[in-house]
Structure 1
Amino acid sequence: MKIRLLTGLLLAVSGSVSALTLPAPDRPGESLIGNPPHEVKYVSAKQEDTLIDIAVNFRLGQDQIVLANPYVDRWLPREGTQVRIPSSFILPNAPRQGIVINLPEMRIYYYPDSSKVVTYAIGIGREDNWKTPLGKTHIAGKTENPSWTPPPSIIAEHLAEGDVLEPYYPPGPDNPLGLFAFKLGIPGYLIHSTNKTNGVGMRVSHGCIRMYPADIEQFFPMVKVGTQVNIVNQPIKVGWYRDTLYLEAYPDMEETPATFEQRLHAALDLIEQANGGKMPVIKGSVLKAAIEKSTGIPTAIYERPAPTPPVVQSQVAPN
């Protein structure tokens, strides 16, 4: 496996538009974007780093970087520890148009045209009474420098925890909505910036979808009012890259738990669908490990056999 250690230069440009706007799959039937899965990216942890610091630097979600590095301490990675940076993604099993949000993955995908995909880490609603809703909706409005009037339910919740919210937050950097907000067609829900960047990649909001400030600043002018939004729950994704089939798994949402057998059946259905309705021969231990580990990293589970070359009959002239 080819390992590419990231340098300070790559760290400096990791948040650029080019790092987030990726070419769409260039072959019919493929579903993987970003780096080829065999090209693994790492960065060396510095003495003062936490995994969360590295996630923010690379604009990854907090849970995403923890899943990708299960043996690295979240708060005290040893200096020099090689931290894996997820850089390839299987597209959700949904129409590739408008915006697709996959909640278990805590990632947003935007299809501006057929040639590219724009993707960002997001934070989503908590698992209690503040879940982010599923379903199809649209961008109903866009607001730059939004104000915020907290609803009574959120004011009461904060008050019960000893935190007093202002009744009105004017536009500005201290506004919890940040500097940019999209209004969804579902009443009361937004995609917006946040001044609590450590919450990106976690379930900490009151149902709204949070983005890094620099990400939504790039994203805001791209998206038009009326753009379709499809919010899905897909903890397991399957897709081809060249002649290899990959599986990318995440933990289930707390409100929709599944047994291993249920996750296995879901994976098998996706594999069969990706393989043209036929079930390939897959090693059970490989599939089991990919589902159970749930690292959020595309894992190779099957490789198409090379085509058998045709047999050429030699022609021998009679004596």
Structure 2
Amino acid sequence: MKRVFSSVLTSIICALAGSQAALAVTYTLPPAGGRLIGQNQSYIVPDNGKNLESIAAKFNTSILLLLEANNTVDPYLPKPGSEVIIPSQMLLPDTPHEGIVINLAELRLYYYPPGQNRVEVYPIGIGQLGRETPEMVTRVSQKIPNPTWTPTANMRARSLAQGITLPAVVPAGPNNPLGRYALRLEQGGGEYLIHGTNVSRSVGMRVSSGCIRLRAADIKTLFSQTSWGTRVQIVNQPVKFSVEPDGRRYVEIHQPLSTSTADNPQTMPVAINAGFARFIDHPNSDKGQVDRALVRRAGYPVQVNKGASVSPSTALLQNVKRTENKKEISEGALISDSVNSSVQ
């Protein structure tokens, strides 16, 4: 997912219409030792005149991830009858399966309901360049329904420099930038919130002043399940990798977060820690496949077993749910059927 946008991509995203309401995607946790969850899907674009952002909202994913997986699709008006890959398969971040986990690099929030064998996954918006969301381990210190928004002195000064005078307080309601619900985090003196937004298209982008944004339906769901003291861990893991219990080896590479306007997230170095180095050097890993995934940085899992001969694009299509006759379901088509993904 792009972190520094070209003017063309920025204009595309900003021109897209507001998202539809969406709910979290829930996945069963993998077997012990595994990290792979979900199943990629294929969607047949209906003739309804809606754009790619509406499809992203329907499947509760990021518009930028859809653009990565479908780089020939028109984001303004996808062609009716064409197939769009929904990359809803992923590797869990390398963290405890507890509370709320936010991976900044992939613009996703994971929530592990206590005592349940499942995880809920939400797309998020995070802090923009220069006002980054920090990594931390903290907890929810306050639940705030119908929050008011009080811009900080720095926010007011930055806006004034742009010729915009912010009000001292924005009351609760549909025009409130915090949406209808907010979770205050303990660390940082309560400065950081997980909250809703009145600009749905900002979800899946780096746009906030450091807080974490969710779509309206998503923050409502998350708010209803969390309690005071819920553990929150924020990490920055652009590289995720796993050896599954059946021996399949996966890497999932996201573009690293840019730290300056001069950075190009598609080419800037990706940190390789000792664990990932050992994974790459293992006799069962195909270094060529790993290298291609590191260059592509597509944001979805790629199988890299030696001898599998799977390219990143083929790896995505291998894991798409399909039916033999591709029968359409409702307004679009979720193509479902199992695909042989055995390891050679």
Structure label with greater radius of gyration: 1
Deviates more, 1:147-156 or 1:161-170: 161-170
- Give the structure, 1 or 2, with the largest relative contact order (CA under 8 Å, sep 6 or more): 2
Shift of 1:303: 6.6
What CA distance in whole angstroms lies between the structure 1 residues aligned with 2:112 and 2:174? 29
The 5-angstrom pairing of residues 157-306 of structure 1 reads 157-185=158-186, 186-187=188-189, 188-241=191-244, 242-255=246-259, 263=270, 265-266=272-273, 269-270=275-276, 272=278, 279-302=282-305
CA gap 1:218/1:22 in 2 versus in 1, 3 angstroms: same
2:38 match: 34
Whether the 8 Å contact between 2:124 and 2:203 is mirrored in structure 1 is yes
Shift of 1:230: 0.9
2:124 match: 122
Whether the 8 Å contact between 2:21 and 2:57 is mirrored in structure 1 is no
Deviates more, 1:54-63 or 1:207-216: 54-63
Whether the 8 Å contact between 1:127 and 1:203 is mirrored in structure 2 is yes
Whether the 8 Å contact between 1:64 and 1:105 is mirrored in structure 2 is no
What's the secondary structure of 1:269's corresponding residue? helix
Superposed CA RMSD in Å reads 2.8
User: Please, which of 15, 27, 32 is the counterpart of residue 22 of structure 1?
Assistant: 27
Amino acid at match of 2:208: S
Amino acid at match of 2:117: S
What CA distance in whole angstroms lies between the structure 1 residues aligned with 2:43 and 2:231? 35
1:316 match: none
Instruction: State the identity as a percent.
Output: 36
Residue-by-residue CA offset, 1:43-62 (whole Å, 9 max, x unaligned): 42646232222212322123
What CA distance in whole angstroms lies between the structure 1 residues aligned with 2:74 and 2:199? 22
Shift of 1:297: 1.3
1:59 match: 60
What CA distance in whole angstroms lies between the structure 1 residues aligned with 2:135 and 2:43? 34
Whether the 8 Å contact between 2:44 and 2:80 is mirrored in structure 1 is no
Whether the 8 Å contact between 1:238 and 1:271 is mirrored in structure 2 is no
Shift of 1:16: 4.6
Deviates more, 1:280-289 or 1:91-100: 280-289
What's the secondary structure of 1:104's corresponding residue? helix
TM-score normalized by the length of structure 2: 0.74
2:312 match: none
Whether the 8 Å contact between 2:102 and 2:108 is mirrored in structure 1 is yes
More strand by proportion, 1 or 2?
A: 1
2:103 match: 102
TM-score normalized by the length of structure 1: 0.80
Shift of 1:121: 0.4
What CA distance in whole angstroms lies between the structure 1 residues aligned with 2:63 and 2:106? 11
Residue-by-residue CA offset, 1:95-137 (whole Å, 9 max, x unaligned): 1112110001000111113511111000000012x11011211
What CA distance in whole angstroms lies between the structure 2 residues aligned with 1:194 and 1:85? 24
Amino acid at match of 1:291: L
What CA distance in whole angstroms lies between the structure 2 residues aligned with 1:169 and 1:264? 41
What CA distance in whole angstroms lies between the structure 2 residues aligned with 1:93 and 1:85? 23
Report how many aligned residue pairs link the two structures: 284
